[in-house]
Structure 1
Amino acid sequence: MARTAVIKKHGGPEEFVIEDRPVGDPGPGELRIRHEACGLNFIDVYQRTGLYPMDLPHALGMEAAGVVEAVGEGVSHLKPGDRAAYAAQPPGAYTEERVMPAAQVCPLPDDLSFEQGAAMMLKGLTVQYLFHRTTPLKKGDTVLFHAAAGGVGLIACQWARSEGITLIGTAGTDEKCALALEHGASHCINYRSSDWSKEVRDLTGGKGVDVVMDAVGKDTFEGSLDSLRPLGMMISFGNASGAVPPLDIGMLGKKGSLKITRPTLFTHIARHEDCQEMARMLFGKVVAGDVTIRIDQRFPLDDVAEAHRTLEARKTTGSTVLTL
C-alpha cells in the first residue's frame, strides 16, 4: 500500500484526500518505482480544477524521482535499484510508490539528487522542446518569455544564456525580475508596473522578438502577438491565467504573417527514444553547471493542498517539490 494524494471531484485544493492505495506488480512495459520526491506543476492545477478533465477518482502529479523496485517484461533501459526520474502520463506521481509505463522513465545520473530530478523533469524537458524542437533558434535570436521567475522560466533564462540567445522576461514583482536577471535573462519587465508589450518593442528597437514563449495564456496572449517581429513565432504552451479565447486566424496576417503553435510536452516525449534523448540533453546541462535547478518550496505530501494554494496565488519562485 502507498499513501497517495487523490481527488474524487474537480474543484479547489480542498478536494485532495490522502489515502492508502494498493501498488501491485509491473506488467509488460511497466515498472514499479518508490518515490523520494514529487514535482508540482501548473498542469496539476488544470487537472484538479477540471480545465483538463479526467476520469475520477484519480491521483494527481506528473513528475517524480526515486528508485526502481521492479521492472516488467520488455523493459531494458532500467533495472531494480536504479535511480530514475520522469515526467509522464498518466497522472499519479503524488504517491509513495506506483506502477507505471516505463518508456518515459529516465535513468537519473548519480550527480543529481532526487529532489533535483523531481523538480526538473517536466519543466526542464519543456524548455528543451521549446528551444530545440518547436522552431529553429540560433545564437543571437531574441525570445520573450513570460513568468520568467517561475520553475520553467528560471531554467529557460539559464538555457538561453548558455546558447547565446537574448531572453526578455516578464514577472509580477521587482524581486522576481531580479531573480530572472540573476539566472540569465538579458532584460526583465515587471508587467504590473509598465506597458510590457511597448517595452518589449523599445528593447528591440521597434522590431519585436523572434519568438514568444507564453505559458500564462489569456492575460498575455494579445500583447504577446504584438511583441513579435513579422514572421515571428508564437508558442502558447500553458494557461496559468486561463484559456486563450478563440482566435481569428486572419489576425496573424494583419500583424505580420505570424506563426503560432500550441505544443504539449507529452507529444514531444511520446516516443521512448525522443524522451530519453531529451532527458540526456537536460541532464547534461545541469551536470555541466549551465542550468541550476532552484527549489524554493518544499511541502510534505500531507500538505499538498497548501502547496496548490501557494502555486495558484503565484507566491512561488523556482520549483516546488513534495517530500515523502
Structure 2
Amino acid sequence: MRAIQVSQYVKSPLDLTVTTLPTPSPSPDKYLIEIHSAGTNFFDLLQIQGKYQHQPPLPWIAGMEFAGTILATPTSVSNPRFKTGDRVFGATQGAYATHVLAPESSLLPVPDGWSFEDAAGLFVTAPTSYGGLVHRANVREGDWVLVHAAAGGVGLAAVQIAKAKGATVIATAGTERKRRIAREFGADYVVDYRDRSWSEQVKRLCAENRSGNGRAGVDIVYDPVGMIESSLKCVTWNARLLVIGFAAGKIEKVALNRVLLKNVSLVGLHWGQYANFEPETVGVVWRGIFELVAQGKFRGTAFKDESFVGLESVPRALRALGGRETWGKVVVKIVNDKASKL
C-alpha cells in the first residue's frame, strides 16, 4: 500500500512524503478497508509536528478520518456487522493511506446517496455539533443560536442541526465568502466577527427580530474558537454557552460575574471521551444524526473550492487547512469513488 508515514516530526506539512509499505493483512479483530477519501483535521497538523496531546510512537501513519470500502472482515468474528464491499466511514490512526485496519467500534455505514468525500468528514464534526447542541444545550424550536466560525467543519454541522431543531441561527465568519457559505447551509443572519461591534450587531438582530420581553440576545452560543467572554455580551437570561474548542489558540479566562448576572450556564463538550465515560450516548447521537440525514436536513460539508486528489495532495490540503482560508471539511480523494482494486 501507499501511505504518509511519519518517521520524524516535521515543521511544515509540505515536508511530508508518500512511501510504499506492506498492505495490512486481515486481522482477528479489525476490518481491512480500502480508503477512498480522508478528512483533514487541525490535530493532524499538531500531531505531525509532535505537538498533540496524543503522539503515537514513531514511525506512524498520519491521518485519522476516512471513508472507504470493506476488503476483509475480522477473521475471529463469526457475525460481523459489516461485510466485504460495504461502504463505511470512521476514524482510526493511519487514514492518510490507501488501506487501514479499523475496529468495528470506529466504523459506521456511509449514508445512502452520500459520496465517500462527504462521508470522510462526518465522523468528528457531526457528533460534536449534535452532542453539544442537542444533548448538552437542549436546543429546541424557537431558540436563537449563535454559531461562531460557522463556515468551519463543526460550524456548518452546528448551523444545520440548529435549523433542523427549529432554531434561528446567527452565524459569525471572518470573510464574505465564508459568510455566504454559512447562509447556503441555512444560517438566518451572518455577522463579521472581525468587526469590533459584532456583539452589538447580534443584540440588535435579536431585539429587532425576536419577540418577548428581555430577549435582546441569543439563547445558545456554540463556540469552537474561544469567544465565550465576548459572547456573554449578547446572550439573554438563562443562556447556554457551549465550550467546544479553542481554535484561536488561546484558552480564555471568563469574568464569572457575567455568568451570575445573566443566570447562564457554561457547558463543556469533549466528544472524544464519550466512548469512555458515556458510551450509551454515542449511539443515541448517531441515530439522531442519521435521522436528520434521512430527512434531508443534514448534508455533507466537504470543501469544494479546490480539489485535493491523491495522497501526494495531503500536504497541500493540510497547508490549506492551516491557512484558515478554507470552509467546511477539507477532504482528500485517495482513490475515485468507484471501487478500485488492491
Correspondence for 1:292: 299
Between 140-149 and 73-82, report the one with greater CA deviation.
73-82
Would you say 1:228 and 2:238 are equivalent positions?
Answer: no
Mapped partners of 1:228, 1:146: distance in 2: 14
2:152–2:329 Cα contact (<8 Å) kept: yes
Matching of residue 316 in structure 1 with residue 333 in structure 2? no
Q: Greater strand percent: which structure? A: 1
Say if 2:55 is the partner of 1:45: no
Provide the identity percentage. Answer: 30
Distance in 1 of aligned mates of 2:5 and 2:261? 46
Q: Quick one: which amino acid aligns to residue 236 of structure 1?
A: V
What secondary structure does 2:63 align onto?
coil
**Matches of 1:41 and 1:20 in 2, distance apart?**
23
Task: After superposing the two structures, state which structure 1 stretch, 37-46 or 14-23, moved more.
Answer: 14-23
Q: Which position in structure 2 is the counterpart of 1:97? A: 99
Q: How does 1:171-186 map to 2 (within 5 A)?
A: 171-186=173-188
Q: CA deviation at 1:141?
A: 0.9
Amino acid at match of 1:266: G
Partners of 1:108 and 1:69 in 2: how far apart?
15
Do the aligned partners of residues 272 and 8 (structure 1) sit closer, same or farther apart at CA in structure 2, a change above 3 Å counting? Answer: farther
On the 8 A contact 1:16/1:305 being kept in 2, the answer is yes
Unaligned runs of 5+ in 2: 208-214, 335-342
1:20-56, Cα deviation, whole Å (9 max, x unpaired): 3334335444221111101112232343341434134
Structure 1 residue runs without a partner (length 5+): none
How high is the TM-score relative to the length of structure 2? 0.83
The alpha-carbon distance between structure 1 residues 272 and 232, as it changes in their structure 2 partners (threshold 3 A), is: closer
Seen in structure 2, the aligned counterparts of structure 1 residues 12 and 259 have a Cα distance that, compared at 3 Å, is farther
Q: Distance in 2 between matches of 1:267 and 1:26?
A: 28
Offset from partner CA, 1:244-296 (integer Å, 9 cap, x none): 14x36744644534322332222235577644543343233234321221431
Q: Is the 8 A contact 2:259 2:265 kept in 1?
A: no
CA distance in structure 1 between the partners assigned to 2:185 and 2:115 by the alignment: 20
User: Structure 1 counterpart of 2:245, which letter?
Assistant: G
Q: Report the residue type matching 2:31 in the other structure.
A: L
Residue matched to 2:337: none
The 1:16/1:186 distance shift into structure 2, 3 A limit, reads same
Q: 1:167 to 1:116 in 2, by over 3 A?
A: same
Q: Secondary structure at the match of 2:93?
A: coil
Native 8 Å contact 1:140 1:165 kept in 2: yes
Within a 5 Å distance, the mapping from 1:1-324 to structure 2 comes to 1-6=1-6, 8-9=8-9, 11-49=11-49, 50-57=51-58, 58-72=60-74, 73-74=76-77, 76-86=80-90, 88=91, 90-205=92-207, 207-217=216-226, 220-245=227-252, 247=253, 250-251=256-257, 253-269=259-275, 274-295=281-302, 296=304, 297-300=306-309, 301-324=311-334
Tell me how far 1:110 sits from its aligned partner. Answer: 3.8
Q: What do residues 49-107 of structure 1 show as CA deviations (whole Å, max 9, x unaligned)?
A: 41434134332322111111222234622122211111x3x432111111122212012
Task: Deviation per CA, 1:205-235: give whole Å up to 9, x if none.
Answer: 3632222111112xx2321233333332221
Distance (whole Å) between structure 2 residues aligned to residue 226 and residue 251 of structure 1: 12
- In 1, Cα distance between the equivalents of 2:256 and 2:10? 36
Partners of 2:45 and 2:233 lie apart in 1 by: 28
Q: Max radius of gyration: which structure? A: 2
Q: Relative to structure 1, is the Cα distance of residues 10 and 273 closer, same or farther in structure 2, using a 3 angstrom cutoff?
A: farther
Q: Tell me the number of residue pairs that the alignment of Structure 1 and Structure 2 aligns.
A: 319
CA distance in structure 2 between the partners assigned to 1:7 and 1:285 by the alignment: 41
Which AA in structure 2 matches 1:213? Y
Aligned with 1:179: secondary structure? helix
Aligned counterparts of 2:16 and 2:54: Cα–Cα separation in 1? 16
CA RMSD of aligned residues (A): 2.6
